[in-house]
Amino acid sequence: MGGMVERRGWGLWLTHLALIAGLLIVCFPIWVAFVASTVTQPEIVRPPMPLLPGDRFVENYSAALLQGVGAPVWRMLMNSMVMALGITIGKIAISIISAYAIVYFRFPFRMVFFWLIFLTLMLPVEVRIVPTYEVVAGFGMLNSYSGLILPLIASATATFLFRQLFLTIPDELAEAARIDGAGPVRFFIDMVLPMSRTNIAALFVILFIYGWNQYLWPLLITTKPEMNTIVMGLKQIIPTSDDVANWPVIMATAMLAMLPPVLVVIFMQNLFVKGLVESEK
Amino acid sequence: MAEISLRGVRKSYGPTEVIHGVDCEVADGELIVIVGPSGCGKSTLLRMVAGLETISGGEVWIKGRKVNDLEPRERDIAMVFQNYALYPHMSVFDNMAYGLKIARVPRDEIRARVDKAAAMLELAPYLARKPRELSGGQRQRVAMGRAIVRNPAAFLFDEPLSNLDAKLRVQMRMEIKALQRELGVTALYVTHDQVEAMTLADRMIVMNDGRAEQIGRPLEIYDDPASTFVAGFIGSPPMNFLPDGNGLTGVRPEHLRLCAPVEGLVAGRVRFTEALGAETLAHVALDGGGIATVRLDAHAAAREGEAVGLAADPARLYRFDAGGARLRG
């Protein structure tokens, strides 16, 4: 990495100190949640809170995964996974194709379409939630994966991002491919897709987390417990009345809900960082 | 038979016509250089031959076929671009093979053709590399290799050397010429550099403002320019122009010599000299206004500030009318 300033002496210690302090602040609550998910209910309730993991890991996690409140957690995890992947892949597919159309084809009202897409940035799901609900209900898509996924797929941000990327691909490259005999579809598959690889990876991470964290929309359109997502489940698992909250199981559920986005980030961080900083020319 | 022929080729963008009818017959194996200042339409003309721009009027024929409405890939041409336009995510081999793969050439034959081109261009050790791992000159060779493997009826070069440094440019210029001779392929070559044009061309088309001002062999054009534009554009340093009644008289720097102030065509004062080693250029501020350049021997005695006259053999004078057209006889 060329642009980094090299630090020596006390500066080196100071930066590390600041980073470690920040890390502790971020990690402490997660650690506490993890510890809470491995002990018994009485141990949590009795002060002081334990700071070292207990021996109830297997019991608590299997209780969460298999029983849960309403639907078992494994079911909600699967629902969330399907929804997040559906939203991510759908968004990327739709936006890369629309950006390709807008950048490489001349058709009537091209810019009108571009600005229409751009305007939808001002209309997130929360703003159009009632009419969207009406449409989805009309199609009979309540309590279904397509109902969870489709309304969240259109993405002006991703379209815009791909458009900017495509604009940096030199025209001569498209012309060279044309002379080589590549039609629009071949050019897309052989040139545009491989050159967008890192950007697709970066978007995948961002969109997966966006999809995973959806709360309001799933809450609105899923009424059957077996269609609930994990983020909804987190809320439902905490009793509203005077019931006793089973904190170890709640915390186990929270840990499980956090796991997939964390894994996605860890395994894709290399590509993710590349996609953000590097433009392959 | 003409390999490529341009017949009254025109190009307009909306109501603006940018190419006003170019005619040229290119013989088999000929290297034609299209030269002109930027904005003269030379690249547009080439791109119309390639099929990257539509042809607004006239006809383009390649190998006996009218290609006006054919896609670039159907025209049997290959093009080398200014910035090479290599596919960045593909290896050198794949870059060269891509067109053949699309044309569904058998795998063995692709291998053989790419290997042959790579050997010719001394690229064999680099076939597995990505373009970004190559130097400018090597990238340029890959771009040429991509053109060669397709075995086309014509090569089209769009300022292929302008991204290289001066020394490499001279070397690649020679290589392009040698390669073109060896393969015997017809070529159209666009450049704004008149030295490149002079050294490469079998014939050249000097373009100005969307018109072919003159078409001919380099020395023919140099010795017998059709207009002040051609006379001023071809040759370095350019031809000197002296006012002459309504028109202009042109004389090349090497045809002027210094003499006593009263004896020559015009008189002036040496403003400064440039000693280039093999020759010395003297820039003379003329008494009537304007500057003339004189090409002198390396060690000619011309002192800055000296009053001199400029003389020339009358046979070496070119006369032009007020519109810039050559007056002959």
Contact B87 A176 (CB under 8 A): yes
- A176, A181, A182 member nearest B85 (Cβ): A176
Q: What is the mean pLDDT of each run of 10 residues along chain A (281 residues)?
A: 60 90 93 88 79 81 76 87 94 93 90 87 84 91 89 86 91 91 92 90 90 90 86 81 78 89 87 65 40
The CATH classification number of B2-223 equals 3.40.50.300
Best of A106, A179, A200 to substitute, by most chain B Cβ atoms within 10 angstroms, is: A179
Helix (H) or strand (E) holding B61: strand B57-62
Contact B87 A177 (CB under 8 A): yes
Best of B98, B130, B150, B158 to substitute, by most chain A Cβ atoms within 10 angstroms, is: B98
Residue B90 phi, psi (nearest 5): -110, 150
Residue B257 phi, psi (nearest 5): -135, 155
CA distance B42 to B307: 43
Average pLDDT, chain B: 90
User: For B79-101, what is each residue's pLDDT tens digit?
Assistant: 999 888 999 999 999 999 999 99
At A67, is the secondary structure helix, strand, or coil? coil
Residue B24 phi, psi (nearest 5): -165, 135
Q: Domain B240-327, CATH 1.10.1040.10 — does that match?
A: no
Res A128: pLDDT: 86
Residues of A with CB under 8 A from a CB of B: 170, 172-173, 175-182, 186, 190-191, 194-195, 197, 280-281
Res A69: pLDDT: 62
- Sheet with B65-66, strands from edge to edge, namely B16-27, B2-13, B57-62, B65-66
- B50, B82, B87 member nearest A179 (Cβ): B50
* CA dihedral (B252, B253, B254, B255) positive or negative: positive
Res A7: pLDDT: 61
Q: CB distance from B146 to chain A under 8 Å?
A: yes
B159-188 residues touching A, CB cutoff 8 A: none
Best of B48, B70, B95, B102 to substitute, by most chain A Cβ atoms within 10 angstroms, is: B102
User: For A230-257, what is each residue's pLDDT tens digit?
Assistant: 888 888 877 777 677 788 888 888 898 8
Q: A177: which chain B residues are within 8 Å (Cβ-Cβ)?
A: 87, 98
Q: CB distance from B77 to chain A under 8 Å?
A: yes
Contact B88 A176 (CB under 8 A): no
Task: Give the fold, CATH level 3, of A60-277.
Answer: MetI-like fold (1.10.3720)
DSSP class of residue B70 equals S
Q: B52: which chain A residues are within 8 Å (Cβ-Cβ)?
A: 175, 178-179
Res A1: pLDDT: 42
- A172, A178, A180 member nearest B83 (Cβ): A172
Across the A/B interface, how many CB contacts are shorter than 8 Å?
62
Res B329: pLDDT: 66
Residue B78 pLDDT class (50, 70, 90 cuts): very high
Q: A175: which chain B residues are within 8 Å (Cβ-Cβ)?
A: 50, 52, 72, 79, 81, 85
Contact A195 B79 (CB under 8 A): no
Best of A104, A169, A180 to substitute, by most chain B Cβ atoms within 10 angstroms, is: A180
The ranges assigned to domains in chain B are: 2-223, 240-327
The ranges assigned to domains in chain A are: 60-277
Q: B146: which chain A residues are within 8 Å (Cβ-Cβ)?
A: 176, 180
User: For B273-328, what is each residue's pLDDT tens digit?
Assistant: 998 888 999 999 988 888 999 999 888 777 888 889 998 888 889 999 988 888 88
Q: Is the ipTM of this complex over 0.90?
A: no
Q: B81: which chain A residues are within 8 Å (Cβ-Cβ)?
A: 172, 175-176
Q: B162, B172 in Cβ contact below 8 A? A: no
Res B324: pLDDT: 86
Contact A173 B85 (CB under 8 A): yes
In terms of Cβ atoms closer than 10 Å to its own Cβ (0-12, 13-18, 19+), residue A113 is: middle
Q: Which two tokens stand for residue B204?
A: 């050249």
DSSP B224-287: S-SBHHHHHHSSSSPPEEEEETTEEEEE-GGGEEEE-TTTSSEEEEEEEEEE-SSEEEEEEEET
Res A64: pLDDT: 80
Polymer length in residues for chain B:
329
User: For B215-273, what is each residue's pLDDT tens digit?
Assistant: 999 999 999 999 999 999 998 889 999 888 888 899 999 999 888 888 888 889 999 89
**Position A280: which residue type?**
E
CA distance B147 to B157: 10
CA distance B316 to B27: 32
Contact B87 A173 (CB under 8 A): yes
Longest dimension (CA), chain B: 77
Contact B89 A195 (CB under 8 A): yes
